[in-house]
Structure 1
Amino acid sequence: MCNQTAAAADKLSPTHIYFHYPEKHRHGADYLCGSISEIISEATSLFNLAFPIALTGLILYSRSIISMLFLGYLGDIELAAGSLAIAFANITGYSVLSGLALGMEPICSQAFGAQRHKLLSLTLHRYVVFLLFTSVLISFLWINMADILVYLHQDRNIIGIGQRYLLFSLPDLFTNSFVHPIRIYLRAQGITRPVALASLFAVILHLPISFLLVSHFNFGVAGVAASASISNFIVLVSLVAYIWVSGIHEPTWERPSFECLTGWKPLLKLAAPSCVSVCLEWWWYEIMIVMCGLLVNPKAPLASMGILIQTTSLLYVFPSSLSFAVSTRVGNELGANRPFKARLSAAVAVFISAMMGLSASTFASALRDKWGRMFTSDTEILRLTSVALPILGLCELGNCPQTVGCGVLRGSARPSTAANVNLGAFYLVGMPVAIGLAFYLGVGFSGLWLGLLAAQVCCAGLMLYVVGSTDWGLQAKRAHMLTCIDLRQPDGFDCNKGEEEQPLICSA
């Protein structure tokens, strides 16, 4: 049995900033209080976690930019085909693996906060097995990409080149089945530098490998895909080597055993909604690429959409890094039974995310006439990119807070709530707006981005409401149930309540 009282560190100093919360969530205090020193300390902790993650994201982004530049070098049709293939890969593969892997984040972060090191290692082993099995299923889908896209009325010439790209990306699925769980396993412990160093080493080699395969051996789009797969494999090998030589895994490491093939029920309960939450948002961007193929003269819209997706991927690095950081902080503090600290971390992260949104919007609008020239000189592609960039910037005003809100929900093991918010915002609001504007009102390419803007505004509002009305004391009790620190059901629990109020079953 863990001590259920708050830690001494949660005591307040005389100067406070107040955040109002609804009556039913006050737990004996009228307001959420945080001293200036506590807020600065929390912001520093978030920064120390988020900075290496952001650096890793920028490094990996530079790798994708290199791939896009080589596709553009090969020609506009190769750029369009590569964009379509990458969209298909993201929709059916990368988003699925990433989303499923995030299901282990609340278990690992809360287990580390609760000092349950065996559970941390066991979760890593379970998820590697789970993702490898999933990758086998996804590979069959990738092999049949051409038939699927022909059914969706995509251009056959573009499909043929895109299929070649996808076939040479198949090894990447199995590499990611190891990379994603290892990254989360380390991040839950506050260890982020090894991933950044491994990614940097791989990107340094990515450019010469791409040049060798694409320009020297003339492998075309197959060379671009193969170089990306090789680069990611280098990340995996470098990361494992660094971990093993440095010994940073030793405090929490357990040898793999047959136990990792059992106890999957809690895993699936978190992995499935985590996957849905990630995919619902990720798929939206890729579905926009598919819808571009249905517009008149789709080559320019497809190429422009590929450029814009790369742009929003760059801007997404920063709120996603903060999202991962706050997820770890919230999970660690809930696992350690410090609900006040978890609540303070969420509040500080949401405030920082609002500042990020303003910065991203300014960046996108300021470079509207220059950004596309990095990728192509085609006049029509540049025009479409210039028109959509300010809309993309406005989307970031909502995207940054909602991304960080998702991180808070992950850390508190509430993936179903995040999935419901994304479903309502993106598909019940954003999708009808996008289709109506693009195809029925004749707005065309820009209409797709206006639909995204409607979705992001709705999603941000819903996410902020959910985070702001969280009962943090109850979430700390749920964390104890998840990590089996306290096997008793807390007083007042109703098994008929929803995810927000329901305890999780034991994970080990």
Structure 2
Amino acid sequence: MKSIEAPLLVKITKQPEEEEKEKIRWLKMKKVASMAAPMVAVNMSQFLLQATSTMIVGHRSELSLAGIALGSSFANVTGFGVLFGLSGALETLCGQAFGAEQYHKLGSYTFTSMIFLLIISFPISILWMFMNQILILLHQDPQVAELAAFYCIWLIPALFGYSILESLVRYFQSQSLISPMVLSSLAALCFHVPFCWVLVHTFDFGVRGAAVSIGVSYWLNAVFLWVYMKHSRACVATRISMSKDVFLHTKIFFHFAVPSAMMCCLEWLAFEVITLLSGLLPNSKLETSVISICLTTSSLHYNLVNGIGDAASTNVANELGAGNPLGARDSASAAIIIAAVESVVVSSTLFLSRNVWPYAYSNVEEVTRYVTEITPILCISILMDSFLTVLSGIVRGTGWQKIGAYVNIASYYIIGIPIGLLLCFHLHLNGKGLWTGLVSGSTLQTLILSLVIGFTNWTKEANKARERIFDEKVWRHDPLVN
């Protein structure tokens, strides 16, 4: 009798535990999804400011499409990508500080980010003023290079607005205050589309009108969030104000900001390299246009899935700051599951509509036919990017930006780009070969980050987060802190 009853007893006692674990996983998935959905709206609205500008200008001519696409790509890598990456430090600092209930630090961390991002915008602006010469040195078509440089010069005011906007977005995101960001970003987008159309087509300002419209929209978005932060009761404990702490937080901010920027910029730079290489191919305007369309579509998807990555980053950071390692692990797992579902839906939809969606960018038959041919490779890229974006969000929430930067270097610059060069120039696959190289890099990066997160000691990471938030003086005075 004992040999029969004992197993039954074990089964009965284990069942409630399994049910409780399943309930916790479901709750975490709902929590991540409830934040991811509105963050998708925020990210998509911001991205569509540039994407709609490309579409509006692109219908003027193939030259206009190539010029604004190259200019946007260069501006994203050397400017917006740098600022976006640097502000990623706030996902670790503000997210963990909020979880640890150190609310006063959110305002001072965010103010630090604003000041340094504005300062960094000045040398970026100077670089953009010489972009025409840089692109010509890189053997780009002189007409396309001139148009791209003209676009970026008029885009400089947007750079400073973006510095304020991205810092505020991370500030609200860390507190899960998503509603004001959704309202402000949607309002900015609704303003931008007709305004851009009028400037580009009615007043015939071309790429200049698109750049001005983007700048005005970024500043409107930033002003709205700033006013909300100053007057909302939800921000009383975390309110941003001018403080000398901007100097006290400098070391810890750049400790995360620099590798965070490297994570972002190294990946974006890989895509920029591919775009530049496409300009060296025999039919350069066609190849550049097609690669730029693929890049814009991939970026569109990135901003879709990045909402899930942002939700993962925030929830993981909050849980680690609160000293809850199991909550951090479950939040990471929930985000990965949601990303898996999203990747299948998006890649399948894109493949099934491969004969239709290219017309959103161009009416030139040669361009749309080439885009249709490269769509299957693009679908695989989107599949990998879904996982990669969420894994990168978990990395930022945990504070592993250095690991992410090293993995980027290995994946794209040691593996991905060399494979792309081999397929493009030696096997004569042209743009298809270049994009296949990127897919191989993102696949390797996804596998490595999956292994890193899979073997994580979450208890150790929670302890490190608590020590970081409550004993920040170590970061200011100890030169050996890693």
Same fold (TM over 0.5): yes
Task: Give the Cα separation in 2 of the matches to 1:503 and 1:484.
Answer: 15
Q: Choose from 103, 109, 118 the match for 1:132.
A: 118
Partner residue, 1:390: 376
Q: Choose from 63, 68, 75 the match for 1:77.
A: 63
Q: Choose from 37, 40, 43 the match for 1:57.
A: 43
Partner residue, 1:26: none
The answer as to whether partners of 1:357 and 1:397 remain within 8 angstroms in 2 is yes
Range with greater deviation from structure 2 (253-262 or 89-98) = 253-262
Secondary structure class of the residue paired with 1:295:
coil
Task: Give the Cα separation in 2 of the matches to 1:230 and 1:488.
Answer: 41
Instruction: Give every structure 1 segment of 4 or more consecutive aligned residues whose post-TM-superposition deviation is greater than 4 Å.
Output: 485-489
Partner residue, 1:237: 223
Partner residue, 2:270: 284
1:310 Cα offset (Å): 2.0
Note if 1:111 corresponds to 2:97. yes
Task: Give the Cα separation in 2 of the matches to 1:488 and 1:212.
Answer: 54
Task: Give the Cα separation in 1 of the matches to 2:15 and 2:177.
Answer: 30
Alpha-carbon displacement from aligned partner over 1:278-303 (angstroms, at most 9, x marks no partner):
11112222222111111112111111
Partner residue, 1:327: 313
Write the letter of the residue equivalent to 1:474.
K
The answer as to whether partners of 1:384 and 1:445 remain within 8 angstroms in 2 is no
Note if 1:438 corresponds to 2:440. no
1:14-29 to 2 correspondence within 5 Å? 14-16=16-18
The answer as to whether partners of 2:28 and 2:334 remain within 8 angstroms in 1 is yes
Partner residue, 2:72: 86
Secondary structure class of the residue paired with 1:16:
helix
Partner residue, 1:293: 279
1:503 Cα offset (Å): 7.3
Write the letter of the residue equivalent to 1:317.
N
The answer as to whether partners of 1:480 and 1:486 remain within 8 angstroms in 2 is no
1:45 Cα offset (Å): 0.7
Q: Choose from 457, 478, 492 the match for 2:443.
A: 457
Query: How many pairs align?
Result: 467
Partner residue, 2:304: 318
Q: Alpha carbons of 1:486 and 1:204: their partners in 2 closer, same or farther (altered >3 Å)? A: closer
Range with greater deviation from structure 2 (308-317 or 254-263) = 254-263
The answer as to whether partners of 1:481 and 1:503 remain within 8 angstroms in 2 is no
Write the letter of the residue equivalent to 1:333.
E
Q: Alpha carbons of 1:310 and 1:293: their partners in 2 closer, same or farther (altered >3 Å)? A: same
Write the letter of the residue equivalent to 1:258.
K
Task: Give the Cα separation in 2 of the matches to 1:450 and 1:54.
Answer: 27
1:277 Cα offset (Å): 0.7
Write the letter of the residue equivalent to 1:206.
H
1:161-310 to 2 correspondence within 5 Å? 161-253=147-239, 255-310=241-296
Write the letter of the residue equivalent to 1:173.
L
Alpha-carbon displacement from aligned partner over 1:382-413 (angstroms, at most 9, x marks no partner):
12211111111111222111211111111111
Alpha-carbon displacement from aligned partner over 1:318-357 (angstroms, at most 9, x marks no partner):
3211111111111111111001110111112112222222
1:452 Cα offset (Å): 1.4
Identity of aligned residues (%): 30
Task: Give the Cα separation in 1 of the matches to 2:47 and 2:319.
Answer: 31
Q: Alpha carbons of 1:96 and 1:487: their partners in 2 closer, same or farther (altered >3 Å)? A: closer
1:42 Cα offset (Å): 0.2
Task: Give the Cα separation in 2 of the matches to 1:13 and 1:122.
Answer: 47
Q: Alpha carbons of 1:77 and 1:488: their partners in 2 closer, same or farther (altered >3 Å)? A: closer
1:254 Cα offset (Å): 5.0
Q: Choose from 339, 347, 355 the match for 1:361.
A: 347
1:488 Cα offset (Å): 9.7
The answer as to whether partners of 1:320 and 1:403 remain within 8 angstroms in 2 is yes
Write the letter of the residue equivalent to 1:387.
E
The answer as to whether partners of 1:478 and 1:503 remain within 8 angstroms in 2 is no
Q: Which has the higher helix share?
A: 2
Note if 1:148 corresponds to 2:134. yes
Write the letter of the residue equivalent to 1:471.
N
The answer as to whether partners of 1:402 and 1:460 remain within 8 angstroms in 2 is yes
Partner residue, 2:6: none
Write the letter of the residue equivalent to 1:384.
Y
Provide the aligned C-alpha RMSD in A. 2.1
Structure 1 unaligned spans of 5+: 1-11, 18-33, 490-494, 496-501
The answer as to whether partners of 2:96 and 2:317 remain within 8 angstroms in 1 is yes
Structure 2 unaligned spans of 5+: 1-13
The answer as to whether partners of 1:109 and 1:331 remain within 8 angstroms in 2 is yes
The answer as to whether partners of 1:82 and 1:165 remain within 8 angstroms in 2 is yes
Partner residue, 1:102: 88
Q: Alpha carbons of 1:218 and 1:259: their partners in 2 closer, same or farther (altered >3 Å)? A: same
Write the letter of the residue equivalent to 2:89.
G
